[in-house]
Amino acid sequence: MDTGESSYRRYLDGDDTGIVEIIKEYKDGLTLYINGYVNNIFVAEDLMEEVFFKLSIKKPRFFGKSSFKTWLFTIARNVSLDWLRYNSRFVFSPIEECRNHLAEEINVEREYLIEEQKIILHQTMRKLNPEYFQVLYLVYFESFSNSEAALIMKKNKRQIENLIYRAKKSLKSELEKEGFEYEEL
């Protein structure tokens, strides 16, 4: 039974089938071992490939102080620890968390735009007749009913309804002059 050492020696002597035999023998075990460090099977597969890349390109010397398998797994451990050190600077989040952050960002942006629209709307309302401003503010910003607005403004309910209609029409005209896009007033 080949322990990997003879395959590696053959590879170092120029026989490329030696590295193929090593890869076939140890790739699955190395991947699972590395996954124990990185907790990501896809990264573990990449790091396993890096271990075999080091064997094939750098051709480190095997002195026989331990078994070939022990030596190979030591290389895998070092590659894993190097990866962990390098990536400890980065915070990896599951894709679901990224989607949640993106959704939160979109909500913040939407809220900002709504606030901007409210500011523009409020500034435009200031340009209206003072009674129009007052009735729109009471009904739409302070959520008073038409009856309550009538009491506050010392008008009857029918006068408030007419004021609201004219105020909305005037506001719409002013907003269109400024190029404001609105959903519905």
Q: Domain map of the chain by residue range?
A: 5-87, 95-177
- Give yes or no for residue 185 having a pLDDT over 50: no
134 has a pLDDT exceeding 60: yes
> What's the confidence (pLDDT) of residue 169?
92
Residue 101: pLDDT over 80: no
pLDDT > 70: percent of the chain: 88
- Evaluate if residue 117 carries a pLDDT over 60: yes
| pLDDT (0 to 100) of residue 48 | 92
3-state secondary structure the chain: CCCCHHHHHHHHCCCCHHHHHHHHHHHHHHHHHHHHHHCCHHHHHHHHHHHHHHHHHCCCCCCCCCCHHHHHHHHHHHHHHHHHHHHCCCCCCCHHHHHHHHHHHHHHHHHHHHHHHHHHHHHHHHCCCHHHHHHHHHHHHCCCCHHHHHHHHCCCHHHHHHHHHHHHHHHHHHHHHCCCCCCCC
Summarised one tens digit per residue, pLDDT across range 24-79 is 888 888 888 888 888 888 999 999 999 989 988 888 888 878 888 888 888 999 99
Whether CATH 1.10.1740.10 fits 5-87: yes
Residue 79: the pLDDT is: 92
Q: What is the per-residue pLDDT for 165?
A: 94
pLDDT higher than threshold 70 for residue 90: no
More confident residue, 110 or 172: 172
Check whether domain 95-177 has CATH 1.10.10.10, yes or no: yes
Instruction: Return the pLDDT at 95.
Output: 66
